[in-house]
Structure 1
């Protein structure tokens, strides 16, 4: 079978007994970075030396069939550099290929930066969405954040320390300066830090520079009590001012929480009826 195994995201003490047992007995490990895995084996005092196969973003599609076939006759342990494979890390393509081929896939659960950050953020945890890594470019970030402006679930993002100040400033502009958020830095490590506040406050906090691994958690939008007919009227007003129907529907959807598809359809029907 294929065994997805979560590894520590910082503190080696978070390595589970099941993970250690698997590392001590497995004959094959497919891993994001073979050097990182070698360091993990050494840090956990594991003398066993299994075969290591590199499985990363650039070769996963090509290597997946080979690893799936290998897993028909022996267990293959799958690791990422930290946390759970497949979650913003290699492994999804391999799991999909294994499922299609009828090869069993199981999990050794463990540390997760997403869930750890969510738990300590102080923001609602009953419903949340993981949005992965924030886009690198300003324009792409703004497009992504505007599309999430009406999202009512707590949102979790990964970001690089070199971009986090710009990211938080863009979030403040797109989602609202007063939106609550938390920046979780160096989770489970010696210098762990959780900065909480509004997006505007956190953008100012990050401006001097931030170091380390980061997770950003942002509160969802407050529900907006705007009736559908009123929202459609806003779409039609925007169209009358020169905005394309599709763009107007998207903009009003972000403000009211109504699906843009419903607004677009209702606006078209309204114009047809009026005509």
Structure 2
């Protein structure tokens, strides 16, 4: 089978007993960087010296079929340099190929920079989205952030320390100066630091120069304040497009937080009243998905 194994993101003491035992018994390890993995084995006191095969962004597609076949006859341990394989790290294409070939895939859970940053950010954790790395070029970065302007869930990004100040400035431009963020730096390491505040307020700090591994956590968009009259108008708009009244009321309730029953009854009642001379203005809030 294929074993996806999480490795420490900083502090070596976060390595699980199960990870160490698995590495002690492993015959073959597919590693993002074989040099990093060799150092990890020594640091964890693992005496076993398994065969190390490089598996990284540049060769994963070509290597996947070969490694899947290898995993039919022996356990193949998959490691990224830090954290969980497949999460902005190599492993996804390998897992995809294994699933298609009917080869078992299991996991040794452990450290994750995404979940760790989310937990310490102080931002809502009940719903979140992981967006990987922001684009390098400013135009593409602003476009990507623009697509997220109405995202209600907390957003988690990886970022380079060299681009952090520019990315914070672009978050402020695209999502608003007051959008709350948390910059999590060097998690679990000696110089761990979490900076919280508005995107705009953290730009000067980041511009002074920041080092280390960075995870940027951004608050989701706030709930839109929509009156019942505006919500009813939106329901009527959906009904005019062919949506059943009951379904339209439910959809707008989900999108606005208004009561489904109030929307339904008000929209139903409006059918029996003369149309108002000036209909309420409908703001541009997200259409239900």
**1:101-180 counterparts in 2 under 5 A?**
101-180=101-180
Listed one character per residue, the Cα deviations across residues 51-84 of structure 1 (whole Å, up to 9, x for unaligned) are: 0010001100110001000111110000000000
1:204 to partner: Cα distance = 2.0
**1:1-275 counterparts in 2 under 5 A?**
1-226=1-226, 227=230, 229=233, 256-258=285-287
What SS does the corresponding residue of 1:140 show, helix, strand or coil? helix
What SS does the corresponding residue of 1:106 show, helix, strand or coil? strand
Partners of 1:184 and 1:215 within 8 A in 2 = yes
Q: Distance in 1 between matches of 2:284 and 2:216?
A: 23
Q: Distance in 2 between matches of 1:255 and 1:36?
A: 50
Q: Distance in 1 between matches of 2:89 and 2:236?
A: 41
Q: Closer, same or farther in 2 for the Cα pair 1:59/1:232, shift >3 Å? A: farther
What stretches of structure 1 move > 6 A for 4+ residues in a row? 230-233
Q: Which runs of 5+ in 1 are unaligned?
A: 234-253, 263-275
What SS does the corresponding residue of 1:89 show, helix, strand or coil? coil
Q: Distance in 1 between matches of 2:150 and 2:236?
A: 16
Partners of 1:225 and 1:256 within 8 A in 2 = no
Q: Distance in 2 between matches of 1:137 and 1:206?
A: 18
Partners of 1:150 and 1:255 within 8 A in 2 = no
What SS does the corresponding residue of 1:166 show, helix, strand or coil? helix
Partners of 1:149 and 1:255 within 8 A in 2 = no
Partners of 1:68 and 1:97 within 8 A in 2 = yes
Query: TM-score, with normalisation over the residues of structure 2?
Result: 0.80
1:258 to partner: Cα distance = 2.5
Listed one character per residue, the Cα deviations across residues 147-200 of structure 1 (whole Å, up to 9, x for unaligned) are: 000000000000000000000000001001101110000000000000000111
Aligned residues: 240
Once superposed, what is the RMSD of the aligned Cα atoms?
1.8
